[in-house]
Amino acid sequence: MAALLAFLSLDPPLMPLALAAAAVAAAAAPSVARGFSGLARAGMEGAARAGRVGAALMPIPILGLAGVAAVGLAIYRMGEALGDAALKLSGILTASIAAAPVGLALAYAALGKAAKRAAIYVHMN
């Protein structure tokens, strides 16, 4: 209830922006949750759980901040499991909320590189 009251207390010019952000987060949440579910199959259950919780919280006003922090934690845990310093840094930046856009962009680039390494590793074995 408190989250709803805080959301409704936004200045009128910010309300459409907040509603658009919530709509985009709601549209993306199922895809993000599916991506993190794949981590469970790769043996990263802790990161998968944090990511799924974060994806569920992201569309909810105010609680979305906790969702972004949970996604940051999941990214950090992936970095730990993969031994990837760039992923760990992006997880820290994402979890810090203020630097989340930079952290998510870095995570996107780092995950692409990690996926290429994993594909090369799979083909070698």
User: Which domain, by its residues, includes 53?
Assistant: 14-124
> What is the DSSP code string of 59-118?
TSTTHHHHHHHHHHHHHHHHHHHHT-HHHHHHHHHHHTSTTHHHHHHHHHHHHHHHHHHH
Tally of structural domains, the chain? 1
pLDDT in tens, 44-94: 888 888 888 888 888 887 788 898 899 999 999 988 888 889 999 999 999
Q: Do residues 36 and 55 lie in contact, with contact meaning Cβ atoms separated by under 8 Å?
A: yes
In this structure, is residue 1 part of a structural domain?
no
pLDDT in tens, 37-48: 777 777 788 888
In this structure, is residue 33 part of a structural domain?
yes
CA distance 14 to 22: 12
In this structure, is residue 7 part of a structural domain?
no
In this structure, is residue 87 part of a structural domain?
yes
In this structure, is residue 32 part of a structural domain?
yes
